[in-house]
Structure 1
Amino acid sequence: MLKVKRILILLLVITGLYIVFNQAQRFDVFGAGSEGNKDGQAAISNDIQTIKVDVSSVSTTIIPEDRTNLKAVYNGKQLLKVAENGDTVEVSVRSKGFHFFDWTPFTEKSTLEIYIPQDFDRNMTIDLGSGNVNFSGQSKEKPMRLNEVTIDIGSGNMDFKNLIAKRWSQDIGSGNVKIDSLKTETGTFDLSSGNMDIKHYIGAVEADVSSGRLNIQMDKLADSIKMDVSSGNVGLDLPDHADFTLSSDVSSGTISCDFPLTTKEVNKHSIQGKHGSGKYKIDLDVSSGNIKIH
């Protein structure tokens, strides 16, 4: 009983210290304001090859506009950092103070707006622990053009629109991702869990789905598609006049194809066939789960 009382007293002391420190930050007792840095800027010279965004528990919007530098405007109680590191400009938001007791990101919403040059055509890396990221070009007719885009999402939500990239690579732990109007030479999608919806897509596809749901609607079939599905559901929406040769293997689960196929071979574990000229290869491997081509 005495031991329990000591533990309770210790917890009360720790809680009291946290409250005192937290209130001290709010009322600037220690000379530090309660808010994080409000904004930051960095020059985007020709030497800068990559813009890196590393955020968690923040609602982030990336806004291309007519400008020559990067500007970040933050509203919240964490710390905003905008720094140049070699050929990279990094924008990050981090907790401050006693990290062990810093529960602010989970209790109060913070926002971050990142303004970038609309003619920045190099590389972008986005790491999202949680929260939201929105990134959009001006329109489908005037998209944002980039070289290589690398995205890593632990959880949260991402929304992308009107983008062109030479290479697109996306690793999704969980959460929800929406992409509307993306053109790329090569798109790589690794989905561990969660949901991913892609509309108006043009480019090659390499997808690995271990769980979750992936839907891809393609405006034009212009390259090969390769998918490995160990669990989950995949929908592949192709143009009516797509030219492809389908090769699939199924150990468990199902693959269905609504397209009429010539030289069609169907058995319990595979579907083979050709639609149109058969120009582009579609290779599907399902160990568990479902794929529907329509």
Structure 2
Amino acid sequence: MSIKKIITYLLVIMLICYGIGFTIISLTGGFKGNFNISYKNKETYNNLDQEKIEKIDTISQISIDILGCDINIIPEDREDVKAHFYGNATATFKPELETKINGKELLIFIKRPKSYSIFNSDLKLDVSVPKNYKENIDIDSSSGNIKIQNELTLNNLFIDVSSANVSLKDLNIKNLKYDSSSGSLIGESIVTDSTFIDVSSGSVELNNFTGDLKGDSSSGTIEVDYNIFDNNIELDTSSGNVNIGLPDDSKFYLDAECSSGNIECDFPIVVRGKHEDNTLRGTVGNDKNKIKIDTSSGNITILKN
């Protein structure tokens, strides 16, 4: 089939789709979804100050679902969980803090209507947890920053955010999962068994990090600095630089490939097989640990600390 015929068929299909869409809009009076929220409905709520306290005896997961609010997780000498919600907001509804226990899960969320909008806010949520709480925390948030910066040991920490910056410090976590559509993750002194990152736009910086690392990034830099390295790394990025800092005595098999960019390795490496442009495959010491990095556009750098 010729290119002209293919283009003609595509144009006909497009016109038919437009015609069907126009007919549906004409017959139904248009789409009636909740896409537009009237500015007339907005109000300003000043000095919001709400608090909830829940027992944690049977709780194995704390789930936080908050939009447009900074979240601070605070380990304390306590036997329960305290959620403190405060600040000011201009919105089409009055934000109300709610908690609910569902089996072994404690839910912390803001009660809101199906159709709503927050125009401006400096809202904050402080969640105080027992220092000896060692189970799971799951945070789902957008348009607000997240901070966990005190010594805390957890089984799982899952963070799913959009348009938010996350700061983590002095944490010991079995499984860390970070999913972000826009924003940055800065971690300091984090020990994990395994960490998974999925970033569509934003940067990741992990200093004094320990653990297996796996993840994907479509845009943004990834910088990871290991204090002790006896792990595996597997990263796939579309756009952005990947910088990995390792101790001098690190041993690993490196499989690095970039479609557009440079690959640099500070370690003496024994290259395996035939060397190809934009690839570097070989062994440093032994191949017990694996480092696999694939980037479409960006530089790959393996540094000595």
Answer yes or no: same fold by TM over 0.5.
yes
Match of 2:103 among 65, 86, 100: 86
Residues 261 and 278 of structure 2 are in contact (CA less than 8 Å); yes or no, is this contact kept in structure 1?
no
Question: Alpha-carbon deviation of 1:253?
Answer: 3.1
Residue 37 and residue 93 in structure 1: after superposition, are their counterparts in 2 closer, same or farther (change >3 A)?
A: farther
**Given the alignment of the two structures, is residue 236 of structure 1 paired with residue 240 of structure 2, yes or no?**
no
Deviation digits for residues 98-122 of structure 1, max 9, x if unmatched?
954x44xx32311211100111111
Structure 2: distance between partners of 1:52 and 1:222: 32
% identical aligned pairs: 31
The equivalent residue for 1:8 is: none
Residues 36 and 80 of structure 1 are in contact (CA less than 8 Å); yes or no, is this contact kept in structure 2?
no
The equivalent residue for 2:73 is: 62
**Given the alignment of the two structures, is residue 18 of structure 1 paired with residue 41 of structure 2, yes or no?**
yes
Structure 1: distance between partners of 2:173 and 2:121: 34
The equivalent residue for 1:276 is: 285
Match of 1:199 among 207, 214, 223: 207
Question: Alpha-carbon deviation of 1:147?
Answer: 0.4
Structure 2: distance between partners of 1:57 and 1:94: 13
The equivalent residue for 2:164 is: 156
**Given the alignment of the two structures, is residue 290 of structure 1 paired with residue 299 of structure 2, yes or no?**
yes
Paired AA for residue 126 in structure 1: I
SS in 1 for 2:41: helix
Structure 2: distance between partners of 1:196 and 1:64: 24
Where does structure 2 lack aligned partners over 5 or more consecutive residues? 1-37, 90-94
User: RMSD of the TM alignment (CA)?
Assistant: 2.1
Residues 263 and 278 of structure 2 are in contact (CA less than 8 Å); yes or no, is this contact kept in structure 1?
no
Residues 157 and 177 of structure 2 are in contact (CA less than 8 Å); yes or no, is this contact kept in structure 1?
yes
* Larger displacement relative to structure 2 (196-205 or 268-277): 268-277
The equivalent residue for 1:9 is: none
Match of 2:121 among 108, 123, 127: 108
Residue 92 and residue 238 in structure 1: after superposition, are their counterparts in 2 closer, same or farther (change >3 A)?
A: same
Give the structure-1-normalised TM-score: 0.81
Question: Alpha-carbon deviation of 1:161?
Answer: 0.5
Structure 1: distance between partners of 2:165 and 2:294: 28
Q: How does 1:1-294 map onto structure 2 within 5 Å?
A: 17-18=40-41, 22=43, 36=48, 38-45=50-57, 47-76=58-87, 77=89, 78-95=95-112, 99-100=115-116, 102-103=117-118, 106-137=119-150, 143-263=151-271, 266-294=275-303
Residues 37 and 80 of structure 1 are in contact (CA less than 8 Å); yes or no, is this contact kept in structure 2?
no
Question: Alpha-carbon deviation of 1:286?
Answer: 2.1
Residues 271 and 280 of structure 2 are in contact (CA less than 8 Å); yes or no, is this contact kept in structure 1?
no
Deviation digits for residues 71-124 of structure 1, max 9, x if unmatched?
01111352111211121111123446x954x44xx3231121110011111111
SS in 2 for 1:230: strand
Give the structure-2-normalised TM-score: 0.78
Count of matched residue positions in the alignment of Structure 1 and Structure 2:
259
Structure 2: distance between partners of 1:49 and 1:72: 17
Paired AA for residue 18 in structure 1: N
Paired AA for residue 154 in structure 2: L
Question: Alpha-carbon deviation of 1:257?
Answer: 1.3
Residue 172 and residue 283 in structure 1: after superposition, are their counterparts in 2 closer, same or farther (change >3 A)?
A: same
Paired AA for residue 91 in structure 1: I
